[in-house]
Amino acid sequence: MLKYAILGFLRYTPMTGYQIKQFMDNSTSNFWSAKLSQIYVTLKSLEKEGLVESMIFEQEKRPDCRMYFIKEAGEKALDGWLRDMTYQPPQEKDAGMLKLFFCGQLEKETILERLQIQRRETLKNIETYRGETVDEIRQIVEAVPQLARDSLLWNATRRAGEILEEAYLRWLDETIEMVKREFPDEGDIK
């Protein structure tokens, strides 16, 4: 899947691997992300497949950079993937949820501390979706007006992230209240 995410980004404009990572972090990270090393490995693979090409650009006072461009074969591969109507259920691995699943034997305060950390991070994510991400979408469209139609779907995926975080916040609040109410305090454990 990373292959297609990279092809999609390169369809907008040529980019370096680092720029792809930045774009991904600021746009799709609520549902798709990758490490920089994964991006570079995938770019090399895409180049071997003939889907992208690269050129090295010299820079003053900085190391040279390799810029990647999508080729016609890459455009066709991306279009084929976009037109594939096979349903793919969301896939998620959540280490925090897995840890919570097994926390039942820990102290009440430790469980509550874990949940409060998750709650604070969730609030930050909601704030980002409502502020920075909206601003970034607007700025891109102002700079490149022909992406206005794309931005409607960018905003739809941003909104999905916001709604999911709001639902997660609601679940966290319910779980925090349940732990406060149902778990015994340390002095009550026998």
The DSSP output letter for 13 is S
Q: Please check the confidence at residue 190 and state whether its pLDDT lies above 60.
A: no
Q: Report percent pLDDT > 90 for the chain.
A: 73
pTM for this model (two decimals): 0.79
CA quadruple 178, 182, 185, 189: dihedral sign: negative
Looking at residue 31, its pLDDT comes to: 83
pLDDT digits (tens, 9 = 90+) for 120-147: 999 999 999 999 999 999 999 999 999 9
Q: Report percent pLDDT > 70 for the chain.
A: 98
CA distance 28 to 26: 7
- With a CB cutoff of 8 Å and minimum separation 6, the contacts of 171 are none
Kindly report the average pLDDT of the chain as a whole number: 91
Q: Please check the confidence at residue 47 and state whether its pLDDT lies above 50.
A: yes
| CB-CB contact of 186 with 107 (8 Å) | yes
pLDDT digits (tens, 9 = 90+) for 79-122: 999 999 888 877 777 888 888 889 988 999 999 999 999 999 99
pLDDT digits (tens, 9 = 90+) for 178-188: 999 999 887 55
